[in-house]
Structure 1
Amino acid sequence: MISEMKQRVLIAEDSRVMAKVMQLNLARAGFEAEVAENGLLAWERLCEEPFDLLLTDFQMPEMEGDELCRLLRQCALNADIPVILVSAKGFEIDIPGLKREVGIADVIYKPFSPRQIVETVKRTLSPTPLPS
């Protein structure tokens, strides 16, 4: 029997608690979720292995989320994966500009519920709309 491969999500988040909450909830929902604790480590992982989605914080040490997204679009291995941006700085970020420039699929504002993360990832990766 061939098992279905889990969709892989890379979580770029410098808050260990927040990263663990996202990772645990995505794993419970059937995803393979890996954490990179800053933008630079996330970039390195994105250059090494394929992922199905990037879930990235905006404000991180080493490399911020917008810079990570710009580099991602130049990476042959993962250039086309969807990106969900997570941010506490909703009013300070040019979301429409980032959507146009680097193709961000969605934005989640902090604070958020773990259910919101899972639902947004599922909706973003689902080829057909999920029933409400």
Structure 2
Amino acid sequence: MNDLKKILHIEDDGLIQAIVKASLKAIGGLEVLCVSSGKEALEIVGDYSPDLILLDVVMPGMDGPETLKKLKEKIDMEHTPVIFMTAKVTPEEIEHYRTLGASGVIIKPFDPMTLHEEINKIVRDFSKSGKA
């Protein structure tokens, strides 16, 4: 997926939103739209048409897995990679996120200088799987 341009970042922590947005814009040249909840994501995802979704796992109200489930009900996500961002990183949890449809997991805390590279690697692997 070489045309990765628009990212929807769903994260309730404003500081993490700011770091992700600044990092991906400055280093990756990407457009990043940040929303603070799964509810907000569901309201804008159809109009925004992201090339990739970065999704926090632990959020108040609707958590990441529930948000992903509802996004799949709302739009066709077959060609849209979803990357969970979380501090919960046991192999069992990562496998669980993959069974939910995540293309990969980025561990918090992450390095803003290499975030773009991590995303590109996950997207390349997703593309090789034949879904993109």
Q: TM-score, length-normalised on structure 2?
A: 0.80
**Rounded Cα–Cα distance in structure 2 between residues aligned with 1:96 and 1:6:** 25
Higher relative contact order (CA 8 A, sep 6+): 2
Aligned residue identity for 2:86: S
**Is the 8 Å Cα contact of residues 103 and 123 (structure 2) preserved in structure 1?**
no
Aligned residue identity for 2:47: E
Alpha-carbon RMSD: 2.3
Structure 1: segments with no counterpart, 5+ residues: none
Aligned residue identity for 2:80: I
- Between the two proteins, the alignment pairs up a number of residues equal to 123
**Is the 8 Å Cα contact of residues 86 and 108 (structure 1) preserved in structure 2?**
yes
Q: 1:71 to 1:12 in 2, by over 3 A?
A: same
Q: 1:47 to 1:93 in 2, by over 3 A?
A: farther
Superposed counterparts of 1:66-85, under 5 Å: 66-78=65-77, 80-85=79-84
Superposed counterparts of 1:60-71, under 5 Å: 60-71=59-70
Q: 1:25 to 1:19 in 2, by over 3 A?
A: same
Which residue number in structure 1 is paired with residue 46 of structure 2?
47
For residues 80-132 of structure 1, the C-alpha deviation after alignment (integer angstroms, 9 at most, x for no partner) is 310110112223973212312x321111111111133211222234458xxxx
**Is the 8 Å Cα contact of residues 84 and 97 (structure 2) preserved in structure 1?**
no
Q: 1:83 to 1:105 in 2, by over 3 A?
A: same
Which residue number in structure 1 is paired with residue 20 of structure 2?
22
**Rounded Cα–Cα distance in structure 2 between residues aligned with 1:34 and 1:93:** 30
Higher gyration radius (CA) = 1
Q: TM-score, length-normalised on structure 1?
A: 0.80
Structure 2: segments with no counterpart, 5+ residues: none
For residues 32-60 of structure 1, the C-alpha deviation after alignment (integer angstroms, 9 at most, x for no partner) is 00100122112222133210000011011
**Is the 8 Å Cα contact of residues 11 and 56 (structure 1) preserved in structure 2?**
yes
